[in-house]
């Protein structure tokens, strides 16, 4: 590798598995003797994924309080910060509700000529989510965001191939890759492809209606929770997190609030547990130390993205906190609907090939 690092932008809808893939990709690059770093992004200010990246020992930075497009100057600043660690590859993961990244991030980065190379834009797709959002009865706002993300991808990778080996029939499969962060399937080949320098980047700029885009993002309630928890008797992180998420899921479902993505991490001095779900009633994907010893001091960080009113979502989370048989230390909750996207820079480009949808 050279002194000009690659910027590898990896997008995809909420819950597509972006962070899991990039952590696995970082591990593969480390095996090859290649240094990498990751830049995470969110509308909020408390990121489960940043915490998780730190636990994996990966050099990381974050852009908070808005998408990469609306915080482009912050993105450039954070790129400069992580370059102090001399990475050969810098992964950048935009917020899962963002689109129009070719025109507002990739092309401005290309124009800046700031001593790095821009890899083709990869968009990750969860096959189960794709099937749900391509149905005729899918939520119009979520379907809009999902379809726009697909249309601007330079590369499409279907994730979770260990449990979903076939892509949806509604999506043209020419040029589609299948990968699994859990098994490692397809990750070395994907890295070889995006770092070869043979493919264009940002070739599929969108013709996007920003008023419709704003309405779609505003349909989501965005909640972030940070709290210290001292249970009445020592408990493991899994015993703190599991029942809390089960009750929260049940209460959101009873209120008719759709979980789009819920992820949380509970940490104690004895270990940590991370869990994530992408739909009401779904079995959580769990990682970490399920056999960690009981402890009295825990830190809980939770990110919830849901279809519903922010005030109601907040009230349900607060009610579930109050039910905990534990003392709560400095609970901090932020719950809001994303503001209309206003990119710092937008450089148009010729529109790419036709739709990937049959």
Domain-by-domain residue ranges, the chain?
6-216, 220-336
Range name among 51-60, 307-316, 348-357 with the lowest pLDDT average:
348-357
Binned at pLDDT 50, 70 and 90, residue 350 comes out as very low
Share of the chain above pLDDT 90, in %: 81
User: pLDDT tens for residues 66-125?
Assistant: 999 999 999 999 999 999 989 999 999 999 999 999 999 999 999 886 688 999 999 999
User: Can you tell me the distance from the alpha carbon of 168 to that of 30, in angstroms, rounded to the nearest whole number?
Assistant: 33
pLDDT, residue 354, reads 46
* 3-state SS, residue 265: strand
Contacting residues for 305 by C-beta, under 8 A, at least 6 apart:
14, 96, 97, 220, 221, 222, 223, 259, 260, 261, 262
The arithmetic mean of pLDDT across residues 325-341, rounded, is 95
The angle at the Cα of 276, spanning 323 to 312, to the nearest 5 degrees, equals 45
CATH of 6-216, one of 3.30.390.30, 2.40.160.40, 3.30.70.100, 3.40.50.300: 3.40.50.300
Q: For the packed helices 210-218 and 140-151, what is the interaxial angle rounded to 10 degrees? A: 130
pLDDT, residue 174, reads 62
Closest C-alpha among 108, 11, 87 to residue 343: 108
Binned at pLDDT 50, 70 and 90, residue 29 comes out as very high
Record the pTM.
0.92
CATH of 220-336, one of 3.30.70, 3.40.1350, 2.60.40, 3.40.390: 3.30.70
Contacting residues for 13 by C-beta, under 8 A, at least 6 apart:
96, 97, 125, 126, 129, 133, 142, 145, 146, 149
Binned at pLDDT 50, 70 and 90, residue 172 comes out as low
* 3-state SS, residue 128: helix
Range name among 145-159, 215-229, 275-289, 340-354 with the lowest pLDDT average:
340-354
Please give the mean pLDDT across all residues of the chain. 92
Q: Is the pLDDT of residue 353 over 80?
A: no
Question: Six-digit token pair at 172?
Answer: 């043209």
Task: Report in angstroms the alpha-carbon separations of 287 from 56, 193, 201, 237, 275.
Answer: 12, 29, 33, 11, 6
The arithmetic mean of pLDDT across residues 208-233, rounded, is 96
User: pLDDT tens for residues 116-151?
Assistant: 899 999 999 999 999 999 999 999 999 999 999 999
- Report yes or no: 62 and 227 within 8 Å, Cβ to Cβ: no
Contacting residues for 11 by C-beta, under 8 A, at least 6 apart:
18, 93, 94, 96, 98, 99, 101, 121, 122, 123, 124, 149, 153
């Amino acid at each position: 590798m050279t002194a000009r690092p690659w910027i590898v932008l990896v997008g995809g809808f909420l819950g597509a598995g972006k962070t899991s893939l990039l952590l696995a990709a970082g591990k593969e690059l480390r095996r090859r003797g290649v240094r990498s770093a990751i830049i995470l992004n969110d509308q909020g200010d408390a990121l489960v994924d940043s915490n998780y990246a730190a636990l994996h020992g990966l050099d990381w930075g974050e852009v908070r309080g808005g998408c990469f497009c609306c915080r482009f100057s912050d993105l450039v600043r954070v790129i400069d910060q992580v370059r102090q660690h001399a990475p050969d590859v810098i992964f950048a993961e935009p917020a899962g509700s963002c689109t129009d990244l070719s025109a507002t991030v990739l092309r401005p980065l290309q124009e800046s000529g700031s001593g790095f190379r821009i890899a083709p834009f990869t968009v990750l797709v969860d096959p189960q989510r794709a099937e749900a959002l391509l149905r005729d009865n899918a939520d119009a706002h979520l379907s809009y965001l999902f379809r726009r993300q697909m249309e601007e991808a330079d590369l499409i990778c279907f994730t979770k191939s260990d449990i979903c080996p076939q892509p949806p029939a509604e999506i043209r499969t020419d040029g589609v890759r299948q990968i699994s962060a859990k098994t490692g399937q397809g990750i070395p080949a994907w890295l070889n492809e995006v770092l070869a320098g043979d493919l264009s980047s940002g070739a599929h700029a969108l013709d996007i209606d920003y008023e419709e885009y704003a309405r779609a993002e505003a349909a989501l309630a965005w909640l972030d929770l940070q709290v210290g928890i001292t249970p009445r008797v020592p408990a493991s992180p899994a015993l703190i997190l599991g029942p809390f998420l089960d009750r929260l899921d049940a209460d959101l479902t009873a209120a008719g609030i759709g979980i789009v993505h819920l992820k949380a991490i509970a940490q104690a001095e004895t270990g940590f547990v991370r869990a994530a779900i992408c739909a009401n009633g779904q079995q959580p994907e769990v990682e970490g130390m399920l056999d960690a010893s009981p402890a009295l001091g825990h830190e809980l960080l939770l990110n919830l993205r849901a279809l519903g009113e922010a005030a109601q979502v907040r009230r349900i989370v607060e009610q579930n906190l109050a039910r905990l048989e534990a003392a709560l230390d400095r609970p901090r909750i932020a719950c809001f609907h994303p503001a209309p996207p206003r990119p710092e820079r937008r450089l148009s480009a010729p529109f790419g090939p036709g739709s990937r949808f049959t």
